[in-house]
Amino acid sequence: MKKLLIVFLSLTLVVAAAGCGAQGSSGSGGGNVIKVATVTPLSGSQAAVGESIKNGAQMALEERKEEFKALGFELQIAPQDDQADPKVGVTVAQKLIVDDNILAVVGHWNSGVAIPSSEVYAQKNLAMVSPANTAVDVTERNLGNVNRICIRDDAQGPAGADFAYNELGAKTGFIIHDKTTYGQGVADEWKNRYEAIGGKLLGYEGITAGESDFSAVEELVRAAGPDIVYFGGIYPEGSLLIKQLKEKGIDVKFMGADGMDSAEVITIAGDSAIGTYYTSAAADINSTPEGKAFADKYTEKFGKQPQAYSGYGYDAMNVALDGIIKAINENSGEKPTRDQVTAAVRTTSGFVGVSTNVTFDDKGDNTEATVYALTFEEAKYPSAVVKMIPAGEYLK
Amino acid sequence: MGTIKNYFKLIKEKQLIQLVLVFLSPVLFYLYSKSSIIFLLFLASLFLLYRVRLDLRIRGAVALLDLLLVIPLAGLENSYYLGIITQIVIYAVLAIGLNVVIGFAGLLDLGYVGFYAVGAYLYAFFATTQANNVIPESIYQFPLSGNWFWLFLPLALIVSAGMGVLLGLPVLRLKGDYLAIVTLGFAEIIRIILNNADKPINFTNGPKGLTPVKPPELFGIVMNQPIHFYFIVLVLFVMVFIAAYRLDHSRIGRAWAAIREDELAARTMGIPLVRMKLLAFATGAGFAGMMGVVFAARQTFVDPSSFGFMESIGILAMVIMGGMGNIRGVIVGAAAVVILQLHLLKELSTFLTQLSVSGILYIPSQLDPAKYEKLVFGLILILMCVFRPKGLMPAKRTMELIKGFRKKLSKESLIE
Amino acid sequence: MDMIVQMLPQLLIDGLTLGFVYAIVALGYTMVYGILEFINFAHSEIFMVGAFAGTETLLFLQGSGYLENMPAPLALFLAVGVGMILSGLLGVTVERIAYKPVRHAPKLVAFISAIGVSFFLQDAVRLIEGLWKNAFYLSTPQLFDTSIQVMDTMKIPVKVIYIVAIAIVMMVALSLFVGKHKWGKAMRTVAQDKDTAALVGINVDAVISLTFLIGAGLGGAAGTLFSVQYTLISPYVGFILGMKAFTAAVLGGIGSIPGAMLGGLLLGLVEVFGAAFLGIATGGMIGAEYKDVLAFTILIIILIFKPSGLLGKAVVEKV
């Protein structure tokens, strides 16, 4: 028994020493090390998206190591797992602000985690570039260090509603959302706009993320007989809904938001996905040469197709790195302070990425974001662009 | 020669190591506040203080010095460790509360986190503009100022305890695992209602949560720094610790122990079962509610996802791992779980990542170390249960003494 | 009102399908509880492993081209068989490693150990699938894509018929086994009193292992059936379902095999009908999102009036 305890204790010590060593090494070489952290869920049920963001960001960082070396800096990535839990997110944030070599953060995935964590970053004015937090509150708190390259819920939802009502001619709608910050957030924005422009809402129901049986809600859709179902949520539940609706023989148009922008939709729903609409900040990534190169390289490196959020992760990291380089230049080649990096990131303008172009306004929202309306014309991903809607119109 | 012998003897008794640890590590922690190993040594020394053979006054003085001087000073240098210590203290209070229900009174409560949520939402509701959705602005312009935080601590305690009584009243005659599932159900109901009570009237803002929650304020100072929260939770911790300790050693505590060990016998002895059970339930609930207020103020954001079933399980794991029924044990349990989850495992994965980045170790991206923190945590839980089933610091259970005594008696009678 | 009548038949089918899945998973909880009086929290992960084993079997058959050429029911039986065997063995292993050493410790210790197993298995499956398939959401191949139109407003998919048939066969077989077979009788004896059972020559360890084998095997079968019905699985699929199934077991009276079946079916129906009618009943005030509140409320009310569950025997306290 005692022996075991000793083994356990010494194991703990070794781990601690290792951690200490790791911190020590970065501390000693602290002069020229620049770290950028990614904070996404890497474990738990949301790990798939979290990982695709991290992979994208990691690729961007690795591509630009040489560039930083030329400037005399060693660029490192610090991937972190926030477990999609606000409490863990805050602890990770506190850990990050203590490491002086970390100059920017790419994250998070859940707005509920991003909001409290960004308050912590703000204490040390650490720049955060969010690839995926669409909740309105993320930038509405006017924190100088918080930026996002994705579209806000109150741009994407209304744009989707306009598209559904005007382009698809859907006069009656039915909302299903997954009761999460993201899902209900975007669904509510869609609802407000849709009703304002004259659409008639026949139902508004919540499902539980992580469940698989949505039959009751589907029967409600059948009974209501709307022109379109709008789904606020992520692709696993969304794809199941599409599939189950088809299986039940309920013929209705289906529309989602950027949570549905994933190759998995096809894997899960198969042919049923044909004719599904969704909005996203990214168009077909393969349509530009840079995007194609990115996608090929990603596939080669990670052995799977990039998801929409991989592109966002890639772009967010590049925005952050551009900001750091700018800050280095302004600091006459010396390692910049966090204040300088944060200021430089906020002035990002005219950035051209693989998923989206980026210009930040004074709140940190991306004014150049475009809402694409897309549809699966056949059972393959990426899907076809139907309409481009500048998100700036919806930004207040 | 003799002195050296004595010296070794001291080491053998582990006295010297303990002493060195107790006195040296605070100094080291103050000097090297960024080192992970020294941080852990320091925490170990805090717990060693309880066991080291020294005069009580000296131990007390060192403890006070550690808590009131070393931690805050090192924390100003490194707010991360201060954050972890604060987190430990918060969970220690929660674990003490759950220990009252499970460890003292023997009621299996899987819905403990529901009361935590009640406290958090109670404060968040009034400390954001949310309350204006229900109370017109003409009556009062919310949010309440941070000065109200202090009033909400006892208020949340009372409200949560009241809810504990309300929920407990119909279900406390259920036994064991039935009680477990019912409390679990109640916590889920609370969480689902919080998640959905944004319509027809917007009480909780649904999944979007409430933000920004006003930080506490005292004499005009806004207390939103980690150091402030450290002192707030420390004071609450001391209060809760004393309360739980006094309860355990009071008539009520003995009544709880009696109920826990043998309900029927306890009833025969004239212990009012329902009243005593309700008291335990309400006490635990009250502590949780009070910490909920701190949680809301510290995070500045509350949403229903923070109050899921896994949170209850986490606190339960602290109680069991620490040693059910022993207040000091559950504090150790809380520290162990929090350090494992929020520090050691993260440190380990950072270290492995560092190795793979620098090319010493090849790790394919599917096996990214950051992804397997929970797997290791699960493994440690199993190992702990198998090798230390009574927890790190087991409680001295009277029943076992009696059982042992009985065995002895029966053996003797056999010989006769 | 028209709407309700129209929806009723189809909802009945959907609710029963869900209920059968709950029922088989609930059996695993109830069997282990009946013998060891402890909540096998890791049962939901055993279920999940079964779902993965079954799906991987079907994917293998599909990949090697056999699936198209073999009758769909045969493929289903094969998948269920693999799922049962793998999960059953896993269940026994878990019992040996994580539960047996703590059998004499307080019950809660075993519970925490089970939680550890649950965390471990979730991420272990994710690790294995991540290395192997580079993804951890798996889509199960479609086995039966036809349905039978029973009436205007009711359609029964063929796969549901198979799933329900397999579930019923397994439940009947289990009831017969526990009721009539020598080992089944041994199980009941152990459930009543382990020490006395040992005294009359029953190998208690073997009986407990057998209980885990059968309970976990049923969980694995349920996992496979689940994946065939709902066609999407992940390492985290067991968590919510496990909690529901445990609720079902308690609802029916934990420790009672018919109780688990009744509880499962009841819970499935309550959920589906609740989700469909809550909105209509309250005039849109609250909707489908409150279905779990309804389910738990019913559970609490039943337990208050019948503390041992619907079919559970009132426990007579031993003094």
B241 exposed, middle or buried (CB, 10 Å; 0-12, 13-18, 19+)? middle
Supply the angle between the helices C237-252 and C2-36 in degrees, to the nearest 10: 80
With beta carbons less than 8 A apart as the criterion, state whether C284 and C225 touch: no
Instruction: Give a yes or no: residue A301 inside a domain.
Output: yes
- Select the highest-mean-pLDDT range: A252-261, C105-114, C275-284: A252-261
Instruction: Give a yes or no: residue B207 inside a domain.
Output: yes
Q: What is the mean pLDDT of residues A87-96?
A: 89
| DSSP state for residue B216 in the 8-state scheme | P
| C41 in reach of chain A (CB within 8 A) | no
Q: Does pLDDT of A56 surpass 60?
A: yes
CATH number, domain with residue A311 = 3.40.50.2300
Write out residues 202-221 of B within 8 Å (CB-CB) of A.
206-209, 211-212
Q: Is there a single domain that holds both residue B254 and residue B269? A: yes
Around Cβ C18, how many Cβ atoms within 10 Å?
Answer: 27
d(CA A42, CA A113): 14
Instruction: Give a yes or no: residue B50 inside a domain.
Output: yes
d(CA B306, CA B288): 14
- CA A238-A241-A245 angle, to 5 degrees, is 150
Instruction: Please report the sign of the dihedral spanned by the C-alpha atoms of residue C255, residue C261, residue C262, residue C263.
Output: positive
pLDDT of residue A23: 46
What is the total count of domains within chain C? 1
Instruction: Give a yes or no: residue B22 inside a domain.
Output: yes
Give residues with Cβ within 8 angstroms of C199, minimum separation 6: none
pLDDT of residue C9: 87
Q: Do A4 and B387 touch (CB under 8 A)?
A: yes
d(CA B257, CA B100): 10
Q: Is there a single domain that holds both residue A379 and residue A237? A: yes
H or E element in which residue A187 lies = helix A181-196
- In 3D, which of C288, C290, C294 has the Cα closest to residue C267? C294
Q: Which of B305, B348, B357 lies nearest to residue A76, judging by beta carbons? A: B357
Instruction: Give a yes or no: residue B365 inside a domain.
Output: no
Which residues of chain A lie closer than 8 angstroms to B357, CB-CB? 76-77
Range of the domain at A104: 30-150+288-365
What tokens does B322 get?
Answer: 């620490």
Max distance between CA atoms of chain C, in angstroms, equals 64
| C129 in reach of chain A (CB within 8 A) | no
Give residues with Cβ within 8 angstroms of B82, minimum separation 6: B71, B72, B74, B75, B226, B227, B230
Question: C94-144 pLDDT, tens per residue?
Answer: 999 998 888 888 778 888 899 899 999 998 998 888 888 777 788 888 888
What tokens does C229 get?
Answer: 């019905």
- C-interface mutation test, from B366, B368, B384, most C Cβ less than 10 A away: B366
Range of the domain at B29: 1-77
The per-residue pLDDT of chain C, averaged, comes to: 87
Q: Does pLDDT of C316 surpass 60?
A: no
* Amino acid letter, residue B159: V
d(CA B143, CA B292): 18
Q: Is there a single domain that holds both residue A101 and residue A210? A: no
Size of chain B, expressed as the number of residues it contains: 416
pLDDT of residue B12: 57
Range of the domain at C192: 2-305
Q: Is there a single domain that holds both residue B97 and residue B222? A: yes
Give residues with Cβ within 8 angstroms of B89, minimum separation 6: B230, B233, B234, B237
Q: What is the mean pLDDT of residues A212-239?
A: 91
Q: Is there a single domain that holds both residue B207 and residue B234? A: yes
Q: Does pLDDT of C227 surpass 60?
A: yes
d(CA B146, CA B135): 19
Q: Do B372 and A302 touch (CB under 8 A)?
A: no
Residue of A nearest to C228 (CA): A212
Q: Which value, in Å, is the radius of gyration of the alpha carbons in chain B? A: 24
Question: A123-160 pLDDT, tens per residue?
Answer: 889 999 999 888 888 888 888 999 999 888 888 999 99
Q: Does pLDDT of A18 surpass 80?
A: no
Alpha helices of B323-344 — where are they, by DSSP H? 327-338
* Least confident range of A28-37, C251-260, C278-287: A28-37
Q: Is there a single domain that holds both residue B73 and residue B180? A: no
pLDDT band at A20 (very low <50, low <70, confident <90, very high): very low
pLDDT of residue B180: 82
pLDDT of residue B345: 81
- In 3D, which of C12, C155, B208, C3 has the Cα closest to residue A202? C3
Instruction: Give a yes or no: residue A25 inside a domain.
Output: no
d(CA B173, CA B11): 54
Give residues with Cβ within 8 angstroms of B254, minimum separation 6: none
Bridge partners of A175, per DSSP, are A204, A230
With beta carbons less than 8 A apart as the criterion, state whether B247 and B253 touch: yes
| DSSP state for residue B215 in the 8-state scheme | P
Instruction: Give a yes or no: residue B344 inside a domain.
Output: no
With beta carbons less than 8 A apart as the criterion, state whether C48 and C125 touch: yes
Question: A260-313 pLDDT, tens per residue?
Answer: 988 888 888 888 999 999 998 877 788 888 889 999 999 998 888 888 888 999
Q: Does pLDDT of A22 surpass 50?
A: no
- In 3D, which of C235, B299, B310, B368 has the Cα closest to residue A46? C235
Q: Smallest CA–CA separation between A202 and chain C, in Å?
A: 10
Size of chain A, expressed as the number of residues it contains: 396
- In 3D, which of B246, B249, B271, B250 has the Cα closest to residue B260? B271
Q: Which residues in A241-337 belong to E strands, given as ranges?
A: 253-256, 277-280
Q: Do A21 and B351 touch (CB under 8 A)?
A: yes
Q: Is there a single domain that holds both residue B163 and residue B72? A: no
pLDDT of residue B413: 54
Strands A33-40 and A102-107: parallel
d(CA B274, CA B263): 11
Instruction: Give a yes or no: residue A3 inside a domain.
Output: no
Instruction: Give a yes or no: residue A328 inside a domain.
Output: yes
Q: Which of B102, B366, B372 lies nearest to residue C134, judging by beta carbons? A: B366
What is the total count of domains within chain B? 2
Instruction: Give a yes or no: residue C319 inside a domain.
Output: no
| DSSP state for residue B210 in the 8-state scheme | B
Q: Is there a single domain that holds both residue B155 and residue B51? A: no
CA atoms within 13 A on the CB side of A42: 28
Instruction: Give a yes or no: residue A22 inside a domain.
Output: no
Q: Which of A48, A240, A304 lies nearest to residue C230, judging by beta carbons? A: A240
Alpha helices of chain C — where are they, by DSSP H? 2-36, 43-63, 66-69, 72-94, 107-133, 158-180, 182-192, 194-199, 204-230, 237-252, 257-281, 291-305
Q: Is there a single domain that holds both residue A245 and residue A382? A: yes
Phi first, then psi: what are they for A146, rounded to 5°? -100, 125
Q: Is there a single domain that holds both residue B192 and residue B264? A: yes
pLDDT of residue A67: 92
Instruction: Give a yes or no: residue C318 inside a domain.
Output: no
Instruction: Give a yes or no: residue B414 inside a domain.
Output: no
d(CA B338, CA B163): 28
DSSP string for residues in C117-158: HHHHHHHHHHHHHHHHHS-S-EEPPP----EEEEETTEEEEH
Q: Which value, in Å, is the radius of gyration of the alpha carbons in chain C? A: 20
Supply the angle between the helices C2-36 and C204-230 in degrees, to the nearest 10: 160
Q: Is there a single domain that holds both residue A195 and residue A136? A: no
Q: Which of A206, A249, A270 lies nearest to residue C289, judging by beta carbons? A: A206
Instruction: Give a yes or no: residue A113 inside a domain.
Output: yes
Instruction: Give a yes or no: residue C315 inside a domain.
Output: no
pLDDT band at C315 (very low <50, low <70, confident <90, very high): low
d(CA C170, CA C166): 6
Q: Do C275 and A216 touch (CB under 8 A)?
A: yes
pLDDT of residue A106: 94
| B188 in reach of chain A (CB within 8 A) | no
Which residues of chain B lie closer than 8 angstroms to A22, CB-CB? 347, 350-351, 354
Question: A330-357 pLDDT, tens per residue?
Answer: 988 889 999 999 999 999 998 998 888 8
Which residues of chain C lie closer than 8 angstroms to A203, CB-CB? 279
CATH number, domain with residue C31 = 1.10.3470
Q: Is there a single domain that holds both residue A125 and residue A163? A: no
Q: What is the pLDDT along chain B (416 residues), one digit of tens a residue?
A: 556 666 556 555 666 677 777 777 788 887 777 777 888 888 888 887 777 777 788 888 888 888 888 888 888 878 888 888 999 999 999 999 999 998 888 888 888 999 999 999 999 999 988 888 888 888 888 888 888 899 999 999 999 999 999 888 888 777 777 788 888 889 989 999 999 888 778 888 888 888 888 888 888 888 888 888 999 999 999 999 999 999 988 999 999 999 888 888 888 989 998 899 999 999 999 999 999 999 999 988 898 988 988 888 889 889 988 888 888 889 989 998 888 888 888 788 778 877 776 777 777 766 777 677 778 888 888 988 888 887 777 776 555 555 666 666 665 555 44
- pTM summary value: 0.88
With beta carbons less than 8 A apart as the criterion, state whether B100 and B247 touch: yes
With beta carbons less than 8 A apart as the criterion, state whether A323 and A345 touch: yes
Q: Is there a single domain that holds both residue B158 and residue B56? A: no
Q: Is there a single domain that holds both residue A253 and residue A384? A: yes
pLDDT band at A27 (very low <50, low <70, confident <90, very high): very low
pLDDT band at A390 (very low <50, low <70, confident <90, very high): confident
d(CA C40, CA C31): 10
CA atoms within 13 A on the CB side of C254: 29
pLDDT of residue C303: 83
What is the total count of domains within chain A? 2
Q: Does pLDDT of A26 surpass 70?
A: no
